[in-house]
Amino acid sequence: MGAAVKRILIPVFLMIVSVGSVWGSGYDRYFVSVDWLKKHLGTGLVILDAREGLGYRFGHIPGALPVTWKQLSDLSPEFGTPGWGTATDMEILSNVISDLGITKASEIVIYADTHKGWGEDGRIFWTLRIAGLSKLKMLDGGIREWKKQNGPISLKRTTPVKSDFRVSLPDFRRFIDTRQLKSDYAAYTLVDTRAEDEYNGAVKFGEKRGGHLPGAVLLPYTNFLVDGLLKPVDELNQMLTQTGLGREDRIALYCTAGIRSAYVQVIMEMLGYDRVKNYDESFYIWASDPDTTVGRVIDRTTYLFISAAGLHRKIKNSESVIILDIRPETESKALPIKGAISTGAYPVQTDFQKARMGRYLPRLESSDPKIVVVSSRGDISARRTVDYYKKAGISPSRLLILEGGQSSLTH
């Protein structure tokens, strides 16, 4: 396959059409039960074991084939750089699907460890739909429920007969990348499917920075499950409504690498949310991009942070930005920041110090560029400054804290 075909230009195939289920649960179109799968073993189904590690070797559903989300993803870029781990290489997809013996007519059931996993079954389901496959279902409850209901377990590795499958027209309707998201950011409702500590700012998996995409709603993928089983449809619909998500919304889901969010994309589509995309590059790439800001929750308040590289980029590109230097006056004089407003209000605690901050309100209110607050080390005084200006009526989306403070500008 030639280079021009190998990595398809995604925008060409983005179509403004409704996808997925009609109104209603659509459960049977997306899931099978343990009882159903027991009755249909040996009937020609392609069963995919999506677990990573040694799970398959230590026992799997009879006839299952092992495949991981990484096998179906492009791992050639450096870890954490644009394109890493994404389902955009059609030659990779074609080769792996062919090696599994899958054809366009194959009926496929995917399972994982839904009790301990990351939604790998949903990620593979989502990826195979990009490849144009449609006869896909997941096993509700995964391998744990299978064992719990005394489903047979095999140690025998199945050897598939290679097919001639090739991806002809990839379906990227449920996909969005960083460039597309940036270009139309305000049009999307962002949903973070990670755990709450990750959303708040914890770095657990090698991310460049901690936090979340600005404005994102937290909805952990584990909230869709109870003891590894999908929650009843009525409960799921109620949860999504209470989160403020509507079926008419354009929604972009993300996690760390697009795994958990892919699972949620499938579930939401099942529930009639037809305008939901999985942000495949997810937080790994967003956090490593110097042009992006991230939100963090500190003491139950959300603050936006910008990196030194991001600030330098804005200045280099002649973007309008106001820099507020809130360091002690001795530091501001010793190491001045070119073009910055030195407030002399450190540490922004007393009425006198806050009054000094107030002197700059008219200037901040008269225009709408981003405001970057620079402290000595990005400490609590920066957050006090942001709190003061938010209370004074400045839009929170304009107020950014420089990560690492002034010291980060010197590195």
For the stretch 344-382, pLDDT in tens is 999 999 999 999 999 999 999 988 899 999 998 767 999
Name the band, by pLDDT with cuts 50, 70 and 90, for residue 410: low
- How do residues 221-241 score in pLDDT, each as one tens digit? 999 999 999 999 999 999 999
Given 268, 288, 308, which residue is the final one in a domain?
Answer: 288
**Residues 312 and 364 placed together within one structural domain of the fold:** yes
The answer, yes or no, to whether residue 18 has pLDDT greater than 80, is no
Considering its fold, how many domains does the chain have in total? Answer: 3
Residues 60-66, mean pLDDT to the nearest whole number = 98
The answer, yes or no, to whether residue 99 has pLDDT greater than 80, is yes
Residue 13 is assigned to a structural domain of this protein: no
- Report residue 27 as tokens: 């459960």
**Residues 61 and 125 placed together within one structural domain of the fold:** yes
Residue 40 is assigned to a structural domain of this protein: yes
Q: First and final CA of the chain: distance in angstroms?
A: 44
Rounded Cα distance, 329 and 318, in Å: 27
The answer, yes or no, to whether residue 22 has pLDDT greater than 50, is no
**Residues 41 and 143 placed together within one structural domain of the fold:** yes
Give the per-residue pLDDT at 326: 94
Rounded Cα distance, 98 and 160, in Å: 9
Given 288, 312, 346, which residue is the final one in a domain?
Answer: 288
Residue indicated by tokens 């699972």? 263
User: How would you class 201 by CB atoms within 10 Å of its CB: exposed for 0-12, middle for 13-18, buried for 19 or more?
Assistant: middle
Give the per-residue pLDDT at 377: 76
Name the band, by pLDDT with cuts 50, 70 and 90, for residue 88: confident
**Residues 281 and 308 placed together within one structural domain of the fold:** no
* CATH code of 263's domain: 3.40.250.10
**Residues 279 and 380 placed together within one structural domain of the fold:** no
Residue 304 is assigned to a structural domain of this protein: yes
Query: 211 is in which domain, residue-wise?
Result: 175-288
Give the per-residue pLDDT at 21: 33
Share of the chain above pLDDT 90, in %: 83
Residues 110-118, mean pLDDT to the nearest whole number = 94
Residue 303 is assigned to a structural domain of this protein: yes
**Residues 307 and 233 placed together within one structural domain of the fold:** no
Rounded Cα distance, 230 and 291, in Å: 38
Residue 375 is assigned to a structural domain of this protein: yes
Rounded Cα distance, 191 and 231, in Å: 19
Given 288, 307, 322, which residue is the final one in a domain?
Answer: 288
Give the per-residue pLDDT at 3: 38
**Residues 256 and 340 placed together within one structural domain of the fold:** no
Asked if the bond preceding 290 is cis, omega within 30° of 0, the reply is no
Give the per-residue pLDDT at 80: 83
**Residues 212 and 316 placed together within one structural domain of the fold:** no
Rounded Cα distance, 124 and 204, in Å: 23
**Residues 28 and 130 placed together within one structural domain of the fold:** yes
Whether pTM > 0.85 for this model: the answer is: yes
Q: Supply the DSSP string of 53-105, one letter for each residue.
A: TTTTTT-B-TT-EE--TTTTSB--SPTTSTTTTBS-BHHHHHHHHHHTT--TT
Per the DSSP assignment, residues forming a β-bridge with 372 are 323, 400
The answer, yes or no, to whether residue 94 has pLDDT greater than 90, is yes
330: helix, strand or coil: helix
Give the per-residue pLDDT at 408: 82
**Residues 139 and 30 placed together within one structural domain of the fold:** yes
Residue 6 is assigned to a structural domain of this protein: no
**Residues 122 and 221 placed together within one structural domain of the fold:** no
Residue 87 is assigned to a structural domain of this protein: yes
**Residues 264 and 237 placed together within one structural domain of the fold:** yes
Residue 56 is assigned to a structural domain of this protein: yes
The answer, yes or no, to whether residue 20 has pLDDT greater than 80, is no
